[in-house]
Amino acid sequence: MGTANNSLRIIISGGGTGGHIFPAVAIANEVKSRYPNAEILFVGANGRMEMTRVPEAGYKIVGLDISGLQRRLTPENLMFPIKVMRAVRKAGKLIEQFRPDAVVGVGGYASAPVLLAATSRGIPSLIQEQNSYAGLVNKLLAKRVDKICVAYDGMDKFFPADRLVLTGNPVRTEIATGNRAEALAFFGLDASRPVLLVIGGSLGARTLNQATAAALPRLQAADVQLLWQTGKVYYPQAQEQAAPYAATGQHALEFVQRMDLAYAAADVVVSRAGALSVSELCLTGKPSILVPSPNVAEDHQTKNAMALVRKDAALLVPDTEAATRLYDEALALLQNPTQQQQLSANVLQLARPAATTTIVDELLKLVKQ
């Protein structure tokens, strides 16, 4: 494998959101655990989240100047083909210098130029698609790459069936190992009263935050405790709104470091339907109400949520109805242990705890070929 000193060399490209970056780092960590001498280079898009998150995880990253195509005619769009050509040229140079044994794309702007440059040089390549609805970049590259690792059934409507492997999404498996007693002590909650966990994603979700703020008196009246992850921007306001209810166990949190304990404490979860949130809910087996974000490409969060709803493994409330319906549904579910058990049993069936290992198995098969 690889160079004279026999160390494995891998390039991992993509990013843009936590949903792309987390799987990328999980794949890198799994390669390193098997081949401690492996050399791994990340390629991201300048100015995006991966440029800080990847070095924090201990890996080297190089940035390309690339952005997405705007959905209307703008000067940036006219520059887009030129930017892509430049990025592909730079990616080609990186590949010639680094000489990878294989290249991985996780979606996001930077994965396109890197995979184009790699496949045109005959370097083995693999894509990991997190969503139930394929991203544009991955659809365009599907015919050029060797393997496509997906998280949902039925992806052959986007990709060549002979290259598909159903692996699931890389998820922090320790997220499912939280201890309930430790969790209740950690958040200062009472074991005899139900707990609702509300997660708006790393940036927070305005609709969820507004509906939750309005529901605080109802939650208190129903004797429900609340862990409310608000995101950074909304936190000061949420803290103020939750303060009068703190004594009865309503807590606004900017960010939850210990998600394992948050899941362990929760009886019911209200969440956006990003690919990784959905995979975590499957792994933790939590009954959930999903409120898909309307601000994402091709409405893929609704499609992610429907993959669970169709199997009676979650409930769905559209973003436009969150203000009126979300807390009726949440309180009804909190008061219905039978329905909670049913959703929990069904969602656990969809978990794929070995996703990262399987993806790396597929990657190493390509290298050995």
| φ, ψ for residue 179, nearest 5 deg | -100, 130
End-to-end CA distance of the chain: 10
Q: Is 276 annotated as a binding residue?
A: yes
Q: Is 277 annotated as a binding residue?
A: yes
Collapsing DSSP to helix, strand or coil, 122 comes out as coil
Q: Is 309 annotated as a binding residue?
A: no
Does residue 37 share a domain with residue 108? yes
Does residue 316 share a domain with residue 358? no
Does residue 157 share a domain with residue 50? yes
Q: Are the C-beta atoms of residues 77 and 342 closer than 8 Å to each other?
A: no
Q: Is residue 42 part of a domain?
A: yes
Does residue 263 share a domain with residue 339? yes
CATH code where residue 289 lies: 3.40.50.2000
Q: Which pair of tokens denotes residue 161?
A: 């069936």
C-alpha 21/C-alpha 296 separation (Å) is: 17
pLDDT at 4: 42
Does residue 71 share a domain with residue 218? no
CB neighbour list of residue 277: distance below 8 Å, 6 or more residues apart: 199, 201, 271
Q: Is 120 annotated as a binding residue?
A: no
Q: Are the C-beta atoms of residues 59 and 39 closer than 8 Å to each other?
A: no
Outline where 57-147 has alpha helix (H). 75-98, 111-120, 136-141
37-to-26, 61, 163, 369 alpha-carbon distances in Å? 17, 17, 29, 20
Q: Which pair of tokens denotes residue 185?
A: 């002590």
| φ, ψ for residue 366, nearest 5 deg | -65, -40
The edge-to-edge listing of strands for the beta sheet with 250-253 is: 250-253, 225-229, 195-199, 268-271, 288-290, 315-316
Strand-pair partners of 64 = 45
Q: Is residue 179 part of a domain?
A: yes
Q: Which residue type occupies 62? A: V
Does residue 245 share a domain with residue 158? no
Q: Is residue 297 part of a domain?
A: yes
pLDDT at 66: 86
Q: Are the C-beta atoms of residues 23 and 128 closer than 8 Å to each other?
A: yes
Q: Is residue 1 part of a domain?
A: no
C-alpha 50/C-alpha 107 separation (Å) is: 12
Q: Is residue 4 part of a domain?
A: no
Q: Which pair of tokens denotes residue 251?
A: 């807590």
Decide: residue 75, CB within 10 A, 0-12 exposed, 13-18 middle, 19+ buried: exposed
Does residue 318 share a domain with residue 214? yes
The one-digit pLDDT tens for each residue of the chain (369 residues) are 554 446 899 999 988 777 788 899 999 999 999 999 999 999 999 999 899 999 999 999 999 998 766 556 677 667 778 888 899 999 999 999 999 999 999 988 889 999 999 999 999 999 999 988 887 888 889 999 999 999 988 999 999 999 999 999 998 888 999 999 999 999 999 999 999 999 986 555 889 999 999 999 999 999 999 999 998 889 999 999 999 999 999 999 998 989 999 999 999 999 999 998 999 999 999 999 999 998 877 788 999 999 999 999 999 999 999 999 999 999 999 999 999 999 999 999 999 999 999 999 999 999 998
Q: Is 17 annotated as a binding residue?
A: yes
Collapsing DSSP to helix, strand or coil, 195 comes out as strand
Q: Is 278 annotated as a binding residue?
A: yes
Does residue 184 share a domain with residue 71? no
Q: Which long-range contacts (CB under 8 A, 24 or more apart) does 159-163 make?
A: 159/129, 159/134
Q: Is residue 3 part of a domain?
A: no
Strand-pair partners of 128 = 149
As separate numbers, helices (DSSP H) first and strands (DSSP E) second, the chain gives: 14, 13
pTM for the model: 0.84
Strand-pair partners of 288 = 269
Does residue 122 share a domain with residue 22? yes
CB neighbour list of residue 126: distance below 8 Å, 6 or more residues apart: 102, 103, 104, 105, 145, 146, 147, 148, 149, 359, 362, 363, 366
Q: Is 18 annotated as a binding residue?
A: yes
Domain count, the chain: 2
Q: Is 7 annotated as a binding residue?
A: no
Q: Is 19 annotated as a binding residue?
A: yes
C-alpha 211/C-alpha 365 separation (Å) is: 48
Does residue 108 share a domain with residue 56? yes
C-alpha 318/C-alpha 326 separation (Å) is: 9
Domain coverage including residue 49: 9-170+353-368
Does residue 219 share a domain with residue 120? no
Does residue 262 share a domain with residue 121? no
